[in-house]
Amino acid sequence: MDRTDRIDSSLIALRRIIRTTELFGREIRQATGVTPAQFRVLQIISEHGFATAKAISLRMQVSQGTVTSLVDKLVRDGLALREKSREDRRQIHITLTDAGRETLADAPDPLQQRFVRKFSALNDWEQAMLVASLERVAAMLDAEDLDASPVLATGEIRPAGAP
Q: What whole-number distance in Å separates Cα of residue 36 and Cα of residue 62?
A: 14
Is 64 exposed, middle or buried, given 0-12, 13-18 or 19+ CB atoms closer than 10 A?
A: middle
Structural domains of the chain ordered from first start: 3-140 (1.10.10.10)
Q: What whole-number distance in Å separates Cα of residue 58 and Cα of residue 128?
A: 23
Does 118 score more than 80 pLDDT? yes
Does 141 score more than 80 pLDDT? yes
Please report, for residues 18, 35, 66, 83, 115, the alpha-carbon distance to residue 153 in angstroms, rounded to integers and kept in the order given: 9, 8, 15, 29, 13
Candidates 42, 72, 68, 73; CA nearest to 57 is 68
Does 125 score more than 80 pLDDT? yes
Mean pLDDT of the chain: 86
pTM of the model: 0.72
Q: pLDDT by residue (tens digit) across 1-48? A: 788 898 999 999 989 988 988 888 888 888 889 988 899 899 999 998
Q: What whole-number distance in Å separates Cα of residue 29 and Cα of residue 133?
A: 30
Please report, for residues 51, 63, 83, the alpha-carbon distance to residue 91 in angstroms, rounded to integers and kept in the order given: 10, 18, 8
- DSSP secondary structure letters along 124-141: HHHHHHHHHHHHHHHHHT
pLDDT at 160: 47
